[in-house]
Amino acid sequence: MVVKTPTVPKGGFHDHNPHLVKAVTEHFIEPLEGEKLSGPDSKKVVLARENLIDFTEHTYLRYKTEKFHAHICENLDKVVAGETRHLMLFAPPQHGKSELVSVRLPPFWLAKRPDMPIALISYGDTLAKRNSRMARDVFLTPQYKQVFPHMMPDKENWRMKDWHVANHKGYVISAGLDGPITGHGFGLGIIDDPIENWAAAQSDVIRENAWQWWKGTFKTRMWEEGSIILMMTRWHEEDLGGQILASEGRVEEGGRWKVLSYAAIAEEPDEKLGILPDILGREPGEALAPSRYSYEYLREIEKDAPRVFLAEYQQRPTKPKGQMFKIGNVNYVDSLPEAVGTLHPDTGELLAMGFGKGVWYVRYWDLAATEEEMFSRNPDYTVGTLMALYRTDKVNALGKKIFRPYVLDVIRRRLDPEGVADLIYDTAILDTAKVPIRIEQEGGAAGKTLIHGYIILLQGFDVDGDSPTGKKAVRATPIAGQFNAGNLLVLKAIWNREWLNELAGFPFGGHDDQVDSLSGAYKLITGEETRFRESKFVSV
């Protein structure tokens, strides 16, 4: 097989282009002797015009396509078609994802949507420029010209940092995460590897800089009708992908982002550990791209750094050892005693509480501290936990009735004070006046004033403040014990994932709002404060 430089028109930007020669050497291979390039109307060329995977195979003859790559391309085609506008791809390193997303997709996109510019972003300017150069060189190959003969380069705007197509508004600009993209709007934003390495991912400062860049620079340059692709290896629970999902949510949970997460080695599904059925339908133990990395080789990598492997290769970043909550012991339920509540027959969502005999309820709110905190680094959430305590007919060894605590609902939002007040009011209406409301009360006059304001706002409801004492970890110990013993029953719902993630990280995680709300609700509903049990809770 012979490497050959394609013939391109001479003049200006084409002459003596070492980057073009290098890229062609890597990506363009002359057909075998006796074999000709497919005709413009051949099936191969027609498919290459319509599907990214066929385009990739046509313009990069050595590319080894596996099921993983085809699956990525199917979803990238949906981005090109406008069906998906927010796509996250989590996949292990060196598995061929950048070749598809950062090199082949840009010239394919420009042929399909020539008036929508592209921003290619990476953690550093060097990597971003390399991807841009390689994408630009694909644009100049005979194969590309054969598939999209109408596409021509703009000779007056053909630079390393940005290159434009003739007779259209489309172009590609590349930059590092902190690089200059101001002054440029774009219809497709591709973020490829926003974090350089493991050490950088463990830095609070670097993660925060990436988050602020996302909010203050990148999103402000996106066109309203534009699309975003974030492709990365997971490094940390609060890496850029994790923070965006915490803020904007997943499609299946009513949020914005479609998430494709590919483990290097397929795992046995485990709902308690958050391991979903394999996205490609692989059997446990199957490697993601066997022609690149075998199962045996991946296991050797895992031996050197298990925690790093779990994050980078399996896309499951974890906190250091020492968590209070043993996540594998979570006890999910998809049905409730009639006395406790009624679920939707199709979705399993909580429709109404039962208010039966021997059932107590509380909605406990942990509020984000102040309005100023909304603009601080990684601000806290306002969280409201709905808990029920059910007195069963069973007795323990001492002949006492057995009580079972249920977590029925968790609301978690980042809001300004006015938004928080609206949220608490609206939730109270849905819960009804039979559900007591408790709000964690900060010390001092400001805390008393805040609670007094909510008592006025929620006239007709049983609302009061609660002033917790002691360290957070100590306060969480009773409910952690129930959780770890499997005695805490948790209703299956869309909030489970983020809730369980926070419990897994406690007390080392970046947030503890859900844990505080949970421990507060449990303290009150189990009668550790006797006066609440006797006078504040409703038992119908």
Give the chain's domains with CATH numbers: 64-135+147-262 (3.40.50.300), 327-535 (3.30.420.240)
Q: Higher confidence at residue 486 or residue 527? A: 486
346: tokens are: 């199709």
Cα 184 to Cα 168, 172, 187: the distances in Å are: 16, 10, 10
Say if residues 390 and 407 touch (Cβ distance below 8 Å): no
Q: Higher confidence at residue 201 or residue 293? A: 293
Average predicted confidence (pLDDT) for the chain: 85
pLDDT at residue 33 greater than cutoff 60: no
Rounded (10°) CA dihedral 207, 213, 216, 217: -170
| pLDDT tens-digit series, residues 57-72 | 999 988 889 999 999 9
| pLDDT tens-digit series, residues 68-110 | 999 999 999 999 999 999 999 999 999 999 999 999 999 999 9
383: tokens are: 């969280």
In angstroms, the CA 445 to CA 448 distance is 5
Integer-rounded Cα radius of gyration of the chain = 28
pLDDT at residue 528 greater than cutoff 80: no
The per-residue pLDDT for 88 is: 98
The per-residue pLDDT for 346 is: 87
Say if residues 169 and 99 touch (Cβ distance below 8 Å): no
Half-sphere exposure of residue 322, counting CA atoms within 13 Å on the CB side?
Answer: 6
The per-residue pLDDT for 216 is: 87
Alpha-helical (H) ranges within 458-493 are: 472-484
Helices (H) and strands (E) in the chain, counts: 20, 17
The per-residue pLDDT for 321 is: 55
Q: Determine the average pLDDT of the residues in 291-319.
A: 87
